[in-house]
Amino acid sequence: MDTPPPQTDPTPPTEADIAAFREQLGRPPRGLRAIAHRCPCGQPDVVETAPRLEDGTPFPTLYYLTCPRAASAIGTLEAGGVMKEMTARLAQDAELAAAYRAAHEDYIARRDAVGVLPGFPSAGGMPDRVKCLHVLVAHSLAAGPGVNPLGDEALAMLPEWWRKGPCVSACDPAGEPGGAAVDAPGDPAAPAAPAAPAAPAGGDPR
């Protein structure tokens, strides 16, 4: 795409957001703290999650991609070898490697501000490899351009997934988009491997 979606301020999840999440991923959220980025269509596409689940299980993925259209397009990039090419460039380009390490440090600092996970890496393969583009794109959407260089690159390779309208049609209980903010304890997903190209996935937490 020529112009990525604009950065949006994090907001507390509304009932409509939680309904959209359920429709996007087919399950209720767990550990949902905030809507970290909102798609131009109006629905959440990245959520901020708690570093630990309610039972104390660590969940290192702070930013979790929820939009199934974006996830499918990212899966296509992964299947096309983009991660391997990016990882090879990290070994050859010192400037890129330094910027990617800074992205890793930014991710950990943001996560530590919520809850510290001693000994855990950031996510997505940072700081020395690319393991999950879903994680990197989610970081770029939440943090804005110029923070994660490879997330920004992957985002620029994607189509404008919102052009066909919202990926889901969830509404609040009154039948109107939006709704009051609510508390949503728990975490959106247990750590898992990246989804297949056609399946929605938030990213690999490791």
What is the model's pLDDT at position 176? 41
Total structural domains within the chain: 1
Residue 113: pLDDT band by 50, 70, 90 thresholds? very high
Range of the domain at 142: 1-206
Instruction: Answer whether residue 81 shows pLDDT above 50.
Output: yes
CA distances from 12 to 16, 73, 129 (A): 11, 27, 32
Radius of gyration of the chain (CA): 16
In terms of pLDDT, which residue wins out, 185 or 96? 96
Instruction: Answer whether residue 199 shows pLDDT above 70.
Output: no
Residue 193: pLDDT band by 50, 70, 90 thresholds? very low
Instruction: Answer whether residue 80 shows pLDDT above 80.
Output: yes
Residue 157: pLDDT band by 50, 70, 90 thresholds? very high
CA distance linking residue 155 with residue 134, whole number of Å: 10
Give per-residue pLDDT as tens, 46-57: 999 999 988 889
CA angle, 160 then 162 then 165, to 5°: 145
CA distances from 134 to 9, 64, 71, 141, 171 (A): 20, 8, 7, 11, 26
What is the model's pLDDT at position 173? 39
Give per-residue pLDDT as tens, 2-56: 889 999 999 999 999 999 999 999 998 889 999 999 999 999 999 999 999 888 8
Sign of CA dihedral 177, 178, 182, 188: positive
* 92-101, 117-126, 143-152, 189-198: the lowest-pLDDT one: 189-198
CA distance linking residue 137 with residue 53, whole number of Å: 23
Give per-residue pLDDT as tens, 176-188: 444 444 443 344 4
CA angle, 149 then 69 then 73, to 5°: 50
CA distance linking residue 182 with residue 178, whole number of Å: 12
What is the model's pLDDT at position 178? 41
Q: If you average pLDDT over residues 98-113, what whole number do you get?
A: 98
pTM, two decimals, is 0.83
CA distance linking residue 137 with residue 155, whole number of Å: 6
Pair 71, 121: CB distance under 8 Å: no
